Structure 1
């Protein structure tokens, strides 16, 4: 057992001290800080203080004030200024950057408003949409006055329709709970996805590197393959937990410092208060099981290659499985109760992400979550047994090895030992 711990801590300490690990950790910490301070960063570069200045040329001399009133009800950050000069002068002011754009108001033959919007670029679709919506509402008001609708009738026309959503399923989540669940599931799906991709690749590279240096021949003679494989898997697993602890700690404290400014953005839509304990427990379980599933797969795939250059080619199918699971989960955020999502949540390579999605978004029977965990555990056990056999023969294979046919060769080498 001592050999197991020696390999585990050797893997952990060596990877912890590498320049690539330190640089990756620092860069990711900077990204986390940038994301949690995004509002403050935008404010530094935004000379207009968040306001979007638009020049208005009113050819009618009567549309500017009602139009300005409509715009303020839709977006208070749009600042309209009545431009006194000519159209050419207004265009020049826009080109100089004094205004984000200019809007020219006029009337058609029916005395209803029309407009032309000009800007250096029409990429800012949200500004254009807000201006268009405001003008549409103004047009509706003027049209209503032409057909002599009273203010009461006009108010009835604009009154929102009553539309209530009621879930008939017992213990179904409310709209607020669903938004909260969607937020935490969205974040944790990214953590699971990137962790599996990054750390599974690291395991495959670690095995291939030792093979290329012939260190493996010495290790395999003194430590059993399954001990060696799981020592590396757990060692890099501890490394991943160390790195995630740094990211989450930095993110949490930065998040708390900027909570007020974030309430109008992501927090305002989803919110992260009062996360159910069950959701956190399932997130930890599926993260750990997902890691071990792909890490075991990556370890024996890495043992089949002799050159570091061949690692990516060998583990590409595994990477595609992770990507497929993530894409299905992204689809499932909008339709978590779709039959397709239910079925794929029991496919082992998709279970860590998709079953967690269902647990977080829906009120599913406990047996389904337990069944998903059981499927993962059984698959990991199978991969551990089968992987150890492949690993034992694979680490002794040299030469060009970049085909899945090499699994058969590795098994034959294991039998001959």
Structure 2
């Protein structure tokens, strides 16, 4: 009971000190500010962009026919002289001249720095128009023309195999899964780098100022170890909660916006809350705890704040290995990727990618997750022993030599 009170004292000290710090507040708010600015620019462009205006010059009034073909552009019939004047006065963005006899010819002239019309769209509209003219010359009925122009229909169906069973997926599932996998990988890198450095700095600062000696007189090293990890992990959960609440509020507005709906039309978001999505979240949490334990252990091996970069070097190394492994996993499922998806630290980034892309089943993912949990328990026990034996050792020898010395001390204690 007494040790639990001390645990909460350490937890509260780490949590509230960083919660009120400007660096942590900036860490949380900076992505939101960037997204707000980017979203505001995107919204402004979407709201202020007007369709291109095209003057059509032809012997026949073709503007209504072209407007039926291309609803994103405004077509209006002009005489040649009036069209040229409208272009000069910036009343239209371009002039489309169409000649039907003796052969079908078309030319398009647009003003510099004006709204553009896609060449592909323009060619498709004119091709349909030419086909209609040819059909009229051949005296084809509208039914015959429709039968001639009706393209072949191909039904596309996306499936995934979960535990050997075929499951239907949305056609957008592949893109959504890739995006989700990349987001998890990127978030893992950012979290481990940021919070790992924060935890290592917390310990290194106390050691460098000799406060650690005072703290250990009343709180055990083991209690401090878990209290600091819990405090930093709680900060991460608060940051995630802030983003979740902000995202939920923003979604209530965004889902009713037409320019958002056109991007989300047909997108299958069910993956985010089914079994693979939950397993991916579990990998993220276990992976974060692994890196937190590594950071606490590494922080105890330095003597002052200036050596923190040495302490976070293992975190950076494992983080980059996981990141590049995840990038490779998005491209192929080579044997090295399959092996890496079961290696602790790296598996937290690689296995979610394989899972989301359907290259690994839920059973494989759960086995990898179980391996990570077992390793987390064993690694935590080892890290606590190293932390306890080295937290009051002051040396400028560097992290690797300090780790070797701590290992020797720990082994001698075990021998006794």
Structure-2-length-normalised TM-score: 0.75
Matches within 5 A, 1:374-385: 374-385=370-381
**Whole-angstrom CA distance in 1 between matches of 2:31 and 2:226:** 27
Q: Partner of 2:106 in structure 1?
A: 113
Encode CA deviations 1:252-283: one digit per residue, 9 max, x unaligned. 12212332227515533534358545345324
**Whole-angstrom CA distance in 2 between matches of 1:139 and 1:293:** 61
**Whole-angstrom CA distance in 2 between matches of 1:405 and 1:87:** 80
Q: Partner of 2:10 in structure 1?
A: 7
**Whole-angstrom CA distance in 1 between matches of 2:289 and 2:223:** 14
Encode CA deviations 1:28-50: one digit per residue, 9 max, x unaligned. 44456667xx3x764446663x4
Match of 2:167 among 162, 173, 177: 173
Gaps of 5+ in 2: none
SS at the partner of 1:264? Answer: helix
Q: Partner of 1:281 in structure 2?
A: 278
**Whole-angstrom CA distance in 2 between matches of 1:318 and 1:265:** 41
Match of 2:194 among 194, 198, 216: 198
Encode CA deviations 1:9-35: one digit per residue, 9 max, x unaligned. 221122122222234334444456667
**Whole-angstrom CA distance in 1 between matches of 2:107 and 2:401:** 69
Structure-1-length-normalised TM-score: 0.75
Q: Partner of 1:325 in structure 2?
A: 322
How big is the alpha-carbon RMSD for the aligned residues of Structure 1 and Structure 2? 4.2
TM-fit CA distance, 1:412: 4.0
Cα distance, 1:253–1:237 mapped onto 2, change above 3 Å: same
TM-fit CA distance, 1:236: 0.6
SS at the partner of 2:52? Answer: strand
Match of 2:341 among 339, 345, 368: 345
**Whole-angstrom CA distance in 1 between matches of 2:76 and 2:386:** 73
Query: 1:20 and 2:23 equivalent?
Result: yes
Encode CA deviations 1:186-244: one digit per residue, 9 max, x unaligned. 65555444333322222122222222222233345655544432221111101111221
Cα distance, 1:132–1:241 mapped onto 2, change above 3 Å: same
**Whole-angstrom CA distance in 2 between matches of 1:168 and 1:5:** 46
SS at the partner of 2:70? Answer: helix
Q: Partner of 2:302 in structure 1?
A: 305
SS at the partner of 2:170? Answer: helix
- Residue pair 2:286, 2:373 contacting (<8 A) in 1 also: yes
**Whole-angstrom CA distance in 2 between matches of 1:295 and 1:340:** 26
Q: Partner of 2:50 in structure 1?
A: 51
Query: 1:295 and 2:283 equivalent?
Result: no
- Residue pair 1:179, 1:269 contacting (<8 A) in 2 also: no
**Whole-angstrom CA distance in 2 between matches of 1:107 and 1:201:** 70
Encode CA deviations 1:103-137: one digit per residue, 9 max, x unaligned. 6546799644344555438xx9xx55x34333244
TM-fit CA distance, 1:161: 3.7
Cα distance, 1:51–1:241 mapped onto 2, change above 3 Å: same
Matches within 5 A, 1:160-309: 160-165=152-157, 167=159, 169=161, 170-176=164-170, 179=173, 182=177, 188-220=184-216, 223-261=219-257, 264-272=261-269, 276-309=273-306
SS at the partner of 2:285? Answer: helix
SS at the partner of 1:362? Answer: coil
- Residue pair 2:97, 2:107 contacting (<8 A) in 1 also: yes
- Residue pair 1:112, 1:142 contacting (<8 A) in 2 also: no
Q: Partner of 1:408 in structure 2?
A: 404
**Whole-angstrom CA distance in 2 between matches of 1:54 and 1:8:** 64
SS at the partner of 1:209? Answer: helix
TM-fit CA distance, 1:91: 6.3
Cα distance, 1:314–1:68 mapped onto 2, change above 3 Å: farther
Tell me which moved more, 237-246 or 346-355.
346-355
Cα distance, 1:239–1:55 mapped onto 2, change above 3 Å: same
SS at the partner of 1:174? Answer: strand
Cα distance, 1:192–1:156 mapped onto 2, change above 3 Å: farther
**Whole-angstrom CA distance in 2 between matches of 1:281 and 1:382:** 24
**Whole-angstrom CA distance in 2 between matches of 1:338 and 1:103:** 54
**Whole-angstrom CA distance in 1 between matches of 2:303 and 2:95:** 66
Query: 1:90 and 2:83 equivalent?
Result: no
**Whole-angstrom CA distance in 1 between matches of 2:373 and 2:32:** 33
SS at the partner of 1:173? Answer: strand
